[in-house]
Structure 1
Amino acid sequence: MSSISGAISQMIILILIACMGFVCAKVGYIDADTRGKLTKILVNVTLPCMIVVSGNNLDASQVADLILLAFLLAIAQFALLLLCGWLCNVLLRTPPDQRSLYLFMAICTNTAFIGLPIISSMFGGETTLFASIFVMVLAFFMYSAGFAILASNKAGESRGGRDNIILRIADSITDLPWKSICNPSMGSCLIAIALLLLGIKIPHVLASAMGTLGGITSPIAMMIVGSIIAEANFSSIVKEARLYPTIIFRQLIVPIALLFALRSLGVNESLVVVFTIMFAMPIGALAPSFAEQFGHDSMLAAKGTVLSTAAAFAIIPLVVAVMALP
C-alpha cells in the first residue's frame, strides 16, 4: 500500500482532474449527452477491467481469508449507514414526509462511481478487490432494503395503511431491478474473486490491456463529477440547512470514529482503509431518480447529491490525513 502522504497527493491530483471536468462543462466540452456516454464507458468497460485485473498479482494464500471479512464488513457498513440516517432524522427533527428519503440518502452512497476509482488510484492492489466487494454488497442492499424504505414511507402517507405498507415493501422487494443489481461491476468482482481463489492468472498481454483501460477509470469519473457540479444551482442548494450536519456527521465524524475502532480491534489495514473511505462517500447520483420513482422530493435528493459530492473533495483528504495519525 502506498504511504499516506502519497495517497493525499493522489487525492489532490484527482481533485484537480475534477476541476478540469468542471471547466470543460462550463465551456461546453462536456454536456449531458457526452456525460451519459462517458458514464456508460466507465460503468461497462473501464471499471470492470480495473476490477478483474485487481487480483491478478495477489497471493490467494494471503488474502483469501480477508475476502470473507470484507463481505462481513460491507454488511456491517450498510447497517451502520442506516443507523446514521436514523440518528440524523432523530437529532435534526426531520419532517415525517422526508424521513425515509434521508434514510435512503444515507445508504445510497457513491461507492462505485467515486469510491472505487479513488481507492484504486490512491492505494491499488488488494484494496481495489476489497472495494469492489463493498460496492457489490452495498448495491444489493440499496436496491432491496433501500427501495423498501422508500416504498414504506410512500404508503404511510395515508393513515391506517399498515397493510398497504407491508404490501408495498413486499412489492418493492419482489420487483427488484435485477438488471441493475447484476451489473458489470458485480460480475467483474465475482470473476476477480474466482480467478484469485482458483489461482488462474490472466495472460500478460491481456492483463496489460485491461490494466491500461482500467487506469483511465479514475480520470473519467472525476471529470464527470466535476461536470455534474458545474451544472448545479448552488444558490438553491446552500439553503438546505439539514444537509450540512447530516454530511458532516455521516461522511466525516462517523468514518473517523470507525477508523480508530477498527484499528483498535486489529482489523487488516487494507480493509480499514476501504471501510473508512467507502463510509465517507457522498450521496449517490441515482438518489434523485429513485426518489422521484417512489414519489418523494427528488429536488431534495439532487441537492443532497451535489452538496455531499462537493463536500467530499474536502472531507476525503481530511479523512486520509487522519489515517496518518499514530
Structure 2
Amino acid sequence: MDFYLIVNQLVVLFLIIFLGYMLNKWNILDKYTSKRLSTFVVNITTPALIISGMTDPQTLQEDINLLQIIIIAFVCYVFLYILTLFVPKLLKVPKSDYGIYKFMVMFSNVGFMGFPVISAIYGRSAILYASLFNLPFNLLVYTLGIYFVSSDGDKKMDFNWRLFINAGVIAVIVGMILYLTKVQLPMFARDTIIMVGDLTTPLAMLIIGISLAGIPIRKVFANYRLYAFSLLKLVVFPLIIWLALRNIVVDDLMVGVAVVIVGMPVAANAVMLSNEFDGNEKVASEGVLLTTVLSIITIPLLVFLLA
C-alpha cells in the first residue's frame, strides 16, 4: 500500500474543489452554470461512469462471488439506513436539514473518489470488488437519495414509482444486463462511454467548489455539528463495519473494500442532486468539503488499521 498515492489522490480532489471555488469568485462559472453542470453530471456522465465500470473487459472475465459482494454491500446500506433514523436526532440537527443529513450518513463518495483510492490501496484488481459493491449505491442514491434531498422535516416529497425512472437506475440495469450476459461493447462505443464517464469526477468537484463560493468558509470549519458528524462518518461507522465483518467474511479484500468505501467522505452526489431537486445545497457542500478535507487524515489511519 502506497500511502503517498492515497494522500495524493485526496489532495488532487481537494484542489479541484478549490479551483471551482476560485472560478466562481472570478466570475467565470456562476451558480446557473453549476446547476446546468449538475444536470449534465447526474443524467449523462455519472450513468456513463456506471456502465463503463460494469463493462470493463477485466470485470467481464473475472470469476468471483458476485452474490456475496452484493449481499455485503446491501447489509452495509441497511446498517447505514438504520443510522439515518438516529444520527440527525443525536446531533440535534434542525428538522429542515434532516433529509440532507440522512443522505450524508448513508452515501459516501464511491465513484468519484472511492475507485481511485481503492486502486491505490489494494491495486487495480480491487476495482472489480468496488464496482460490484457500488451497485446498491447506484440504485439507492437515485431513488432513496433523491427522496432524502427533496424532503425536509416539515414537508416530505411523496415517494412513488417515478423516483425509479431516471438515468442512474437505467444505467445500473443496462450495466447489469451487459455484465451478466458478458457482452462486450464495440470499441468505439466503449471508448465514448469511458471518455464521457471520466468527466464525472472533475466536474463534480468543480460543482462543489462553485457551491462553496457562496458560503463563508470560516462558517464551515467552525460548525461543531459537522465535526461530530465527520467523526461518525469517517471513523465510527467504518470501524463498526470492520468489527461486524472481520469474523464473518473470509475474503480480507472484500472486508477492506467495504470498510474503506463506508469510510469515504460524503458523496459529491449530495450537492448535484440538491441542485437538481431543490435540496439544501449549502449544507451538502459544507458536508462534502469538511469530510473530504478530514479524510486526508482518516483514510490513511483506516488503512493502517486494516493492514
Task: Please report how far the alpha carbon of residue 308 of structure 1 lies from its aligned counterpart in structure 2 after TM superposition.
Answer: 1.2
Q: 102, 110, 116: which one pairs with 1:115?
A: 110
Output the CA distance in 2 between the equivalents of 1:210 and 1:142.
24
RMSD between superposed Cα atoms in Å: 3.6
Task: Please report how far the alpha carbon of residue 117 of structure 1 lies from its aligned counterpart in structure 2 after TM superposition.
Answer: 1.5
Structure-2 change in CA distance of 1:251 and 1:65 (3 Å): same
Task: Please report how far the alpha carbon of residue 43 of structure 1 lies from its aligned counterpart in structure 2 after TM superposition.
Answer: 2.1
Q: Which residue of 1 aligns with 2:19?
A: 20
Amino acid at match of 2:110: G
Pair member with larger Rg: 1
Amino acid at match of 2:169: M
Write out per-residue CA displacement over residues 265-309 of structure 1, whole angstroms, 9 at most, x where no aligned residue. 33562574256435544272345987x8xxxxx7xx555323211
Output the CA distance in 2 between the equivalents of 1:270 and 1:289.
34
Structure-2 change in CA distance of 1:119 and 1:63 (3 Å): farther
Write out per-residue CA displacement over residues 65-113 of structure 1, whole angstroms, 9 at most, x where no aligned residue. 32x3444344333332233344435544x38xx458436622356858x
Q: 210, 224, 230: which one pairs with 2:207?
A: 224
Output the CA distance in 2 between the equivalents of 1:138 and 1:65.
24
Amino acid at match of 1:45: I
Contact 2:143–2:164 (CA<8 Å) still a contact in 1? Answer: yes
Contact 1:132–1:185 (CA<8 Å) still a contact in 2? Answer: no
| Pair 1:188 & 2:187 matched | no
Output the CA distance in 1 between the equivalents of 2:298 and 2:218.
28
Give the secondary-structure state (helix, strand or coil) at the position aligned to 1:242: helix
Sequence identity (%): 17
Q: Which residue of 2 aligns with 1:128?
A: 131
Q: Which residue of 1 aligns with 2:33?
A: 34
Structure-2 change in CA distance of 1:41 and 1:89 (3 Å): closer
Q: Which residue of 2 aligns with 1:310?
A: 289
- Structure-2-length-normalised TM-score: 0.77
Output the CA distance in 2 between the equivalents of 1:198 and 1:13.
37
Q: 211, 231, 254: which one pairs with 2:237?
A: 254
Contact 1:195–1:201 (CA<8 Å) still a contact in 2? Answer: yes
Output the CA distance in 2 between the equivalents of 1:307 and 1:106.
14
Output the CA distance in 2 between the equivalents of 1:250 and 1:239.
18
Contact 2:34–2:207 (CA<8 Å) still a contact in 1? Answer: yes
Q: Which residue of 2 aligns with 1:65?
A: 65
Structure-2 change in CA distance of 1:110 and 1:257 (3 Å): closer
- Give ranges in structure 2 of 5+ residues lacking alignment: none
Contact 1:119–1:128 (CA<8 Å) still a contact in 2? Answer: no
Contact 1:71–1:137 (CA<8 Å) still a contact in 2? Answer: no
Amino acid at match of 1:273: V
Output the CA distance in 1 between the equivalents of 2:34 and 2:76.
30
Output the CA distance in 1 between the equivalents of 2:73 and 2:64.
16
Q: 102, 106, 120: which one pairs with 2:102?
A: 106
- Give the number of equivalent residue pairs: 292
Q: Which residue of 2 aligns with 1:269?
A: 253
Mean alpha-carbon deviation: is it higher for 302-311 or for 200-209? 302-311
Query: Aligned ranges for residues 109-188 of structure 1 at < 5 Å?
Result: 111=107, 114-122=109-117, 123=119, 125-126=127-128, 127-143=130-146, 146=148, 154=154, 172-173=158-159, 176=160, 178=162, 180-188=163-171
Output the CA distance in 2 between the equivalents of 1:86 and 1:111.
14
- Give ranges in structure 1 of 5+ residues lacking alignment: 156-167, 293-297
Output the CA distance in 1 between the equivalents of 2:287 and 2:149.
21
Structure-2 change in CA distance of 1:53 and 1:103 (3 Å): closer
Contact 1:49–1:210 (CA<8 Å) still a contact in 2? Answer: yes
Q: Which residue of 1 aligns with 2:266?
A: 282
Output the CA distance in 2 between the equivalents of 1:63 and 1:244.
42
- Structure-1-length-normalised TM-score: 0.73
Write out per-residue CA displacement over residues 37-68 of structure 1, whole angstroms, 9 at most, x where no aligned residue. 222222222222222121321344645532x3
Task: Please report how far the alpha carbon of residue 319 of structure 1 lies from its aligned counterpart in structure 2 after TM superposition.
Answer: 3.7
Mean alpha-carbon deviation: is it higher for 231-240 or for 203-212? 231-240
Task: Please report how far the alpha carbon of residue 201 of structure 1 lies from its aligned counterpart in structure 2 after TM superposition.
Answer: 0.7
Contact 1:49–1:213 (CA<8 Å) still a contact in 2? Answer: yes
Task: Please report how far the alpha carbon of residue 24 of structure 1 lies from its aligned counterpart in structure 2 after TM superposition.
Answer: 0.9
